[in-house]
Amino acid sequence: MSDVKSEEPKNQSREWNYHPDLPIPNSPVFAWPPEPRRLAVWFKDSWFSLSERVIILGFAILTWVYFQPPLENCKTLGVEWIAYVYARNLILMTVVTTALHLYFHTWKKQGMVKKYDPRQLATNNGLYSFRSQLWDNVFWTLASGVTIWTAYEVLVLWAMANGYAPMLSWSEHPVLFIFLLFMIPIWSSFHFYWVHRLLHWPPLYKIAHSLHHRNVNVGPWSGLSMHPIEHIIYLSASLIHFLVASHPIHLFFNMQWATLAAATSHVGFESVVIKDKNRLDLGAFHHQLHHRYFECNYGNAEMPWDKWFGSFNDGTAAGKAMTRERLKKMMAKQKGRR
Ligand SMILES: [Zn+2]
Ligand SMILES: [Zn+2]
């Protein structure tokens, strides 16, 4: 836990109320040459402390133990168990995202401390459905996001129950079982980078992804506020369970990571600060930069795809200049095509 007071105001700038130390680092998992010390700290902070990913993994395990109808019942597509799965996801998304929204944006429990964007969420703005950024985001998250999330989950559960998707049991393969849990955020990051680049292909951007990008200044409900086409593409990360033998706990972790961690990564604040100490890391400045500057940081800090493919904006003046240059080239290329 770091002391917050000592970090201000050097972490303020004209564009940001707060930003982390720059340049922002990538995950040490793929660092070359290897950085064992940084890797050990990252691994401990991510997996062996009360981190966001440990909390979401806890939700996935609880979902399997207490809130999942027996797999036997999922052999046929019955209304009852599908409605149950839908209600479960609806409640989970609503409770987590509402808690984040109330804490940070309605009750402003930590004021502007660790808030990236100096602005508040938009109200009375015709850009959004219902003229409200919040209700626009709630609508697309719940009406489309939770529905498509549930559809994928139902499909994989039905396939697992019928033997169409390969299953892995804890008792027979405990090491592989745990290894796959560690792999899910990495898979998710890999999938996200590539589908997100696809979503920035101008025709798809225009009809689908621009809806998510209405949110330049983001809040927790912005995370899963997407067009149905984007939900279908983004949540297709679940189809990996048809290829890799896994357990419903892996499926729930994969899907809850894609949905709940979208709420936390868009929260607009870097962390929960209580009594001047960071208690829980949430926000992702890497993705906040994507919402501000668009054509950069398509992935996340989990995997350095952006660095490898020249789209990394590390938040410094040089990173910004690189993004501007990239955007200019993209526009020229598009003009040339017309
Ligand atoms: Zn985007
Ligand atoms: Zn986003």
What's the average model confidence in pLDDT over 195-216? 97
What's the mean per-residue pLDDT of the chain?
Answer: 95
Give the tens place of pLDDT for each residue, 69-123.
999 999 999 999 999 999 999 999 999 999 999 999 999 999 999 999 999 999 9
Ligand 1 geometric centre to CA of 218 (Å): 13
Tokens of 180: 């796959």
Ligand 1 geometric centre to CA of 156 (Å): 27
Ligand 2 geometric centre to CA of 288 (Å): 7
Q: Where are the alpha helices (DSSP H) in 271-314?
A: 285-293, 305-308
Confidence of residue 129 (pLDDT cuts 50, 70, 90): very high
State which residues form the domain around 190. Answer: 5-337
pLDDT for 229:
98
Considering its fold, how many domains does the chain have in total?
Answer: 1
Ligand 1 geometric centre to CA of 84 (Å): 32
Give the tens place of pLDDT for each residue, 267-320.
999 999 999 999 999 999 999 999 999 999 999 988 999 999 999 999 999 999
Please determine, for residue 230, whether its predicted confidence score (pLDDT) is greater than 70.
yes
pLDDT for 30:
87
Q: Which ligand is nearest to the CA of 223?
A: 2
Torsion region of 50: left, alpha or beta (phi above 0 gives left; psi -120 to 50 gives alpha): beta
Ligand 2 geometric centre to CA of 197 (Å): 13
Ligand 2 geometric centre to CA of 267 (Å): 10
Please determine, for residue 60, whether its predicted confidence score (pLDDT) is greater than 60.
yes
pLDDT for 330:
87
Please determine, for residue 338, whether its predicted confidence score (pLDDT) is greater than 70.
no
Cα 270 from Cα 216, distance rounded (Å): 16
Q: Which ligand is nearest to the CA of 230?
A: 1
Dihedral over alpha carbons 272, 275, 279, 282 (to 10 degrees) = 10
Ligand 1 geometric centre to CA of 219 (Å): 15
For residue 140, the one-letter residue type is W
Ligand 1 geometric centre to CA of 294 (Å): 6
Ligand 1 geometric centre to CA of 213 (Å): 6
pLDDT for 9:
66
This prediction's pTM: 0.95
pLDDT for 2:
55
Q: Residue 216: what are its φ and ψ, rounded to 5°?
A: -85, -45
